[in-house]
């Protein structure tokens, strides 16, 4: 097709047509890819939701490495890629979290009930080893929330460790030392 000015009419269909649709998880079957394919996109208008879904579908979506700054409240609360506004501001102002226009929102943010949080917590705790489970219970008794950074790092590290497999011993001593408390270290010193 020529780029000549005014020559934009095409008389034939495209020459090559794909026989099969693109599958973004054909060669990459990692856990991150599964999470991306099941990602929920709340507080978006129809067009913005379609744009982000397209990015996910064709491997163009890049997750945030750290929270972005909200353009409304100027705090680092934006936890999803391509969003420009945080969830509380978008809900309060009834706007799309990406384009900031007051269009019809496709899916509102669903707040989890306490029973759903408890079920999720029980499911995660079943998969953890006994040592990590006791550490989390001890932290929660001291008043730390389930969503606190300490507990989330313990859970994510144990998931990584289980994903690596039992035969992989790389950095096992370093990661175990991060979870141990001062009280555990003092007990070891007393025994020596």
For residue range 40-66, list pLDDT tens digits in order.
899 999 999 999 999 999 999 999 999
Q: What is the pLDDT of residue 151?
A: 78
Compute the mean pLDDT over every residue in the chain, rounded to the nearest whole number.
80
Radius of gyration from C-alpha coordinates of the chain = 24
For the chain, what are the domain ranges?
31-93, 114-179
Q: Is the pTM of this model over 0.75?
A: no
| pLDDT reading at 192 higher than 70 | no
Closest by CA position to 41, among listed 54, 25, 26: 54
Q: What is the pLDDT of residue 172?
A: 45
For residues 105 and 1, the model is more confident at 105
C-beta neighbour count of 89 within 10 angstroms: 20
On whether the CB atoms of residues 72 and 85 are closer than 8 A, the answer is: yes
| pLDDT reading at 173 higher than 50 | no
Residues 82-136: tens digit of each pLDDT: 999 999 999 999 999 999 999 888 877 666 677 777 888 888 888 888 988 898 8
| pLDDT reading at 4 higher than 80 | no
Q: What is the pLDDT of residue 112?
A: 64
pLDDT category of residue 179 using cuts at 50, 70 and 90:
very low
For residues 159 and 55, the model is more confident at 55
Q: What is the pLDDT of residue 180?
A: 47
Q: What is the pLDDT of residue 145?
A: 72
Phi, psi for 39 (deg, rounded to 5):
-65, 135
| pLDDT reading at 154 higher than 70 | yes
């Amino acid at each position: 097709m020529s780029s000549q000015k005014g020559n934009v009419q095409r008389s034939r269909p495209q020459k090559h047509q794909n026989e099969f649709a693109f599958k973004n998880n054909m060669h990459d079957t990692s856990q991150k890819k599964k999470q991306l394919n099941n990602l929920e996109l709340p507080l978006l208008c129809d067009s913005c939701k379609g744009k982000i879904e397209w990015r996910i579908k064709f491997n163009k979506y890049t997750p945030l490495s750290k929270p972005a700054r909200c353009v409304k409240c100027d705090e680092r609360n934006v936890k999803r890629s391509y969003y420009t506004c945080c969830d509380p501001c978008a809900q309060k102002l009834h706007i799309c979290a990406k384009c900031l226009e007051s269009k019809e929102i496709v899916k509102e943010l669903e707040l989890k009930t306490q029973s759903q949080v408890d079920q999720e917590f029980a499911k995660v705790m079943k998969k953890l080893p006994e040592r990590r489970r006791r550490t989390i219970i001890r932290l929660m008794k001291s008043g730390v929330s389930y969503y606190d950074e300490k507990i989330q790092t313990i859970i994510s590290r144990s998931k990584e460790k289980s994903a690596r497999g039992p035969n992989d011993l790389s950095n096992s001593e370093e990661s175990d030392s991060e979870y141990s408390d001062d009280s555990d270290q003092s007990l070891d010193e007393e025994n020596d």
